[in-house]
Chains A and B, each alone.
Chain A
Amino acid sequence: MTLDQAPVGAVATIGPIDAAPAMLRRLAELGVRTGEAVTPLHATAGGGRLLAVGDTRVALARDVLRRIEVVAP
Chain B
Amino acid sequence: MNDQRAAVPSCHADVVAVDAPPGTPVVALVGNPNVGKSTLFNRLTGSGRDVGNWPGTTVAVGRALWTDEDLGQAVLLDLPGAVSLDPQSPDEELTRDLVSRPDPRDRPDLVVVVASAVHLARGLYLLRQVLEAEVPCLLAVTMGDVASRRGITVDADELAAAAGVPVVVVDPRRGAGARDLVRAVALSLQPGPAGLCGVDGCTCPRGDCSCDHDPLAGPVAAAGTDDEALARAEERFAWVAGATAVSVHRRHDARDTWSDRLDRVTTAPVVGPLVFLAVMWVVFQLTTTVAAPLQEWLDALVSGPVSAAATRLLDAVGLGGTWVQGLVVDGLIAGVGMLLTFVPLMAVMFALLSLLEDSGYLARAAVVTDRSMRAIGLPGRAFLPLVVGFGCNVPAISGTRVLPDARQRLLTVLLVPFTSCTARLTVYVLVATTFFGDRAGTVVFAMYVVSILFVIVVGRLLRSTLLRRMPDDPLVLDLPPYQLPMLRLVAAGSWRRLRGFLRTASGIIVVTVIVVWALSATPAPGSSGTFGQVPVQDSVYAATAGAVAPVFDPAGFGSWESTSALMVGFVAKEAIISSWAQTFATAEPQAADTPGSLGDALQISFTESSGGYPIPAVLAFLVFLLAYTPCVATLAAQRREVGLRWTLTGVGIQLVIAWTVAVVVFQVGRLIA
The residues of A with any CB-CB pair to B shorter than 8 Å are: 21-31, 33, 39, 41-48, 50, 52, 54-61, 63-64
The digit string for B259-272, where 1 denotes a CB below 8 A from any CB of A, is: 11001100111101
The answer to whether B367 and A59 have CB atoms under 8 Å apart is yes
Q: For residue A31, which residues in chain B have a CB less than 8 angstroms away from its CB?
A: 119, 121-122
Q: For residue A45, which residues in chain B have a CB less than 8 angstroms away from its CB?
A: 267-270, 272-273, 367-368, 371
| B233 close to A (CB within 8 Å) | yes
Q: For residue B370, which residues in chain A have a CB less than 8 angstroms away from its CB?
A: 46, 48, 61
- Which of B339-347, B474-482, B624-632 lies at the interface with chain A? B474-482
Nearest opposing residue in chain B for A9, CB measure: B255
Alpha-carbon separation in the docked complex, A55 to B282 (Å): 32
The answer to whether B119 and A55 have CB atoms under 8 Å apart is yes
The answer to whether B371 and A25 have CB atoms under 8 Å apart is no
Sorted nearest first, the 8 A-B pairs with minimum C-beta distance are A46-B371, A21-B226, A61-B474, A61-B475, A45-B272, A63-B474, A56-B119, A57-B479
The answer to whether A44 and B474 have CB atoms under 8 Å apart is no
Q: For residue A41, which residues in chain B have a CB less than 8 angstroms away from its CB?
A: 260, 263-264
| B229 close to A (CB within 8 Å) | yes
Beyond A25-B233, A45-B368, A46-B368, whether A57 also contacts B263 by CB under 8 A is: yes
| B125 close to A (CB within 8 Å) | yes
Alpha-carbon separation in the docked complex, A59 to B363 (Å): 10
Chain B interface size band reads 35 or more
Identify which of B121, B152, B263, B475 contacts A48 (C-beta below 8 A): B475
The answer to whether B255 and A52 have CB atoms under 8 Å apart is yes
Alpha-carbon separation in the docked complex, A45 to B373 (Å): 13
| B176 close to A (CB within 8 Å) | no
Alpha-carbon separation in the docked complex, A52 to B263 (Å): 12
Beyond A28-B237, A64-B475, whether A42 also contacts B230 by CB under 8 A is: no
| B103 close to A (CB within 8 Å) | no
The digit string for B217-255, where 1 denotes a CB below 8 A from any CB of A, is: 000000000100110010001000000000000000011
> Closest CB of chain A to B667's CB: distance in Å?
41
| B594 close to A (CB within 8 Å) | no
| B84 close to A (CB within 8 Å) | yes
Beyond A21-B229, A21-B230, A44-B268, whether A54 also contacts B121 by CB under 8 A is: yes
The residues of B with any CB-CB pair to A shorter than 8 Å are: 83-84, 86, 88, 118-119, 121-122, 125, 147, 150, 152, 226, 229-230, 233, 237, 254-255, 259-260, 263-264, 267-270, 272-273, 367-372, 473-479, 481
The answer to whether A50 and B479 have CB atoms under 8 Å apart is yes
Beyond A58-B479, A59-B267, whether A23 also contacts B473 by CB under 8 A is: yes
The answer to whether A59 and B264 have CB atoms under 8 Å apart is no
The answer to whether B264 and A57 have CB atoms under 8 Å apart is no
Nearest opposing residue in chain A for B125, CB measure: A29
Beyond A26-B83, A28-B233, A57-B478, whether A44 also contacts B122 by CB under 8 A is: no
Contacts A55-B118, A57-B260, A64-B474 aside, 17 further interface pairs with beta carbons under 8 A come to A23-B473, A26-B83, A29-B233, A41-B260, A41-B264, A44-B267, A44-B269, A46-B269, A46-B370, A47-B371, A54-B121, A55-B150, A58-B477, A58-B478, A59-B267, A61-B475, A63-B474
- Tell which of A30, A60, A64 has the most Cβ of chain B within 10 Å: A30
A-B contact pairs, 17 of them (CB 8 A): A29-B83, A29-B233, A41-B263, A45-B268, A45-B273, A45-B367, A46-B368, A46-B371, A48-B370, A50-B263, A55-B118, A55-B119, A56-B122, A57-B260, A57-B479, A58-B478, A59-B475
Alpha-carbon separation in the docked complex, A33 to B119 (Å): 16
Nearest opposing residue in chain A for B32, CB measure: A29
- Tell which of B147, B230, B474 has the most Cβ of chain A within 10 Å: B474
The answer to whether A44 and B150 have CB atoms under 8 Å apart is no
The answer to whether A30 and B478 have CB atoms under 8 Å apart is yes
Q: For residue B88, which residues in chain A have a CB less than 8 angstroms away from its CB?
A: 22, 26
Nearest opposing residue in chain A for B271, CB measure: A45
> Closest CB of chain B to A8's CB: distance in Å?
11
Alpha-carbon separation in the docked complex, A64 to B473 (Å): 9
Nearest opposing residue in chain B for A65, CB measure: B474
Beyond A21-B229, A25-B86, A55-B254, whether A60 also contacts B478 by CB under 8 A is: no
